[in-house]
Structure 1
Amino acid sequence: MTYFALVRHGETDWNRHGRLQGSSDVPLNDTGRAQAREAAHRLAASDWDVLVSSPLSRASETADLIGAELGLTRSASYPDLRERHYGEAEGLTDYEAYYEWPHGLYPGLEPRIEVARRGLRTLSELHTEHPDSAVIVVAHGGVIRAILDVLLQTRRSPRILNAGVSTVGVDDDGWQVRSINGIDIPSMDI
């Protein structure tokens, strides 16, 4: 089995102000750096073999901070782990985006299913490259939630917290979602 810890990046100033970041490259703030170190402490209870991230700086810095605490070096950045592109709504607050497009269909919005496909494609690639390994993947809330929604066959996964750790595994029998935001969920094979 390949075991994955899916970690959302730490907080940014745009997170703090409720702005849609999407694929905009917004750096961590000091709170986000502290959250990354706290995530590392939660992850320290297990042994990890591989550390990878999205190429966006908020995810790569979170990964590097986690790696420094765990003695791991980030081995790669995967473009398909970048956050969902929110089109013309990027940089706006949720309220501003709702005011402009109350139906939620922002011009240029990347389809959610495409976000899930590229995220799962990356996890499958990592499973092939690192079978029977424990892999930390630092990405974004939208990507992690899209992956979990497909695996759980729902559109109702909870919001992924900054530096939240969710875990999944995959083997010959399929995918298993083990926890979301550090909270164990009932065993289910997918």
Structure 2
Amino acid sequence: MPESVARQRMEGAREREVLLGALALLVEIGYDRLTLDAVAARTRSSKATLYRRWASKAALVTDAVALLAPSDLELPDTGSLRSDLLALAGVEGYFDVKGTRLVGGLATAVYREPEVHEAIRQKVVDLGTAHLRALLQRAAERGQLRPDVDIELISSVVPATAFFRLVFETPGKLDPDLLRRLIEHVIVPAVAPEPARG
């Protein structure tokens, strides 16, 4: 079969099916044990087609990681940073526990595969904090943040803390009240302007 035909068959819905199968395997067995042969078996794909489409395991995983970030969530706009953050935390799919398991499965690749590390940084870290950064930037424009607030740093506090809990304290489980407490007791106090002195 010509290579162009094989590539064409791996586009669109079929390609997504393969990438999702790879992500499922990453959750189950991790990056080190993942092989293109295993992905082919899981997704009932031709091994030859997979090897033509992706030159390496890292290339396949890099494409799969692109599916992780919740890039299409609608940002709340209540007029208050606290209310916006609480509303965002309650959006279904904003913090995906399965996504965190996937990141755990990719842990070794972060250190060994620069290509995969960069994909994780862009799709999981940058896009994963984009919604928080946007809400904080909008609050700054409203005058609801201190001028010296480091938005990049603050936007990483919630996902970093939640990830730590999911990996080390309560593996695979996230206290539904954790995000609210982080917002009300950490984020909002850290960024709020100082009260005007009379």
Higher share in helix: 2
TM range (shorter): under 0.3
> Which structure has the larger Rg?
2
Larger relative contact order (CA 8 Å, sep ≥ 6) = 1
Higher share in strand: 1
TM-score (norm 2): 0.27
TM-score (norm 1): 0.28
